[in-house]
Structure 1
Amino acid sequence: MKVLARSAAVAAAATALIATTTPLAAAGSGFEVWTDAESSRECGVANEAGSAKFVDDGEHFYIDDRRSDGHSVRAHVYVNGDFKETLKSTGTSSSPATHYNRSYPEGAKVTVGVYVSYYNQVCGYDEESGTA
């Protein structure tokens, strides 16, 4: 009986050790980036004209046009340094942000560069990175 109890105790201790040393799935890191105020002024576009938010849980993007100035907010998306696509806000300053849902490998580096498309020129570009 003592052998059985000792075996059970050893098994429980080994299970506890494994449970505390086995890494859990790594969580990514989301972020929000706004159009750059200084370079926006050079184009005559208002500060904080737009933003791009990346939510790492499910790889969701929200592109938000914050000004009613007739210029669209766009975001370039790079994954592990490779250009993937350009996302565009389809709303107005009074509507919710435009939502995109994508899927990238766990741990991939995601970089988003947000800007105002000002007469087909990039204006107020700023970028941020996180992980999926």
Structure 2
Amino acid sequence: MAFSLAASTSTFAGAKVAVKPVAARRASRATAAKAKYGDESVYFDLGDVESTTGAWDVYGEASTARYPGQQEAFFEKGLGRREAMYSFLALAGPAACLVFGGKGAKDAKLPITVGPQKEAPLGPRDKL
């Protein structure tokens, strides 16, 4: 069995098929990735932290009374409303389940409230 780059034999008709020789590829050079960002590729500057990460000191003071009185009342009122809503839901949820169990199940004619409608048919050997 001979191997030829110029021509090969087809398995169906036995005709010659022209094949181009494959050129050898050159190995590509390995290059390091370079980033173009900032001055001379400086990502984080310990000397100028505010310009690098942003200013975190928003209000300029570390006291606990940072907000005006009206804003403080707004936030505290929201927390009070949330606690009131949780307590309402804790009481209303089980109450709704009990009301449905008593009234809604009868209106929906669930089998447990209606009871058996007719005698159960007897099975083989006259047993249930």
Q: TM-score range by the shorter chain?
A: under 0.3
TM-score, normalized by length of structure 1?
A: 0.27
Tell me which structure has the larger Cα radius of gyration.
2
Higher helix share: 2
Higher strand share: 1
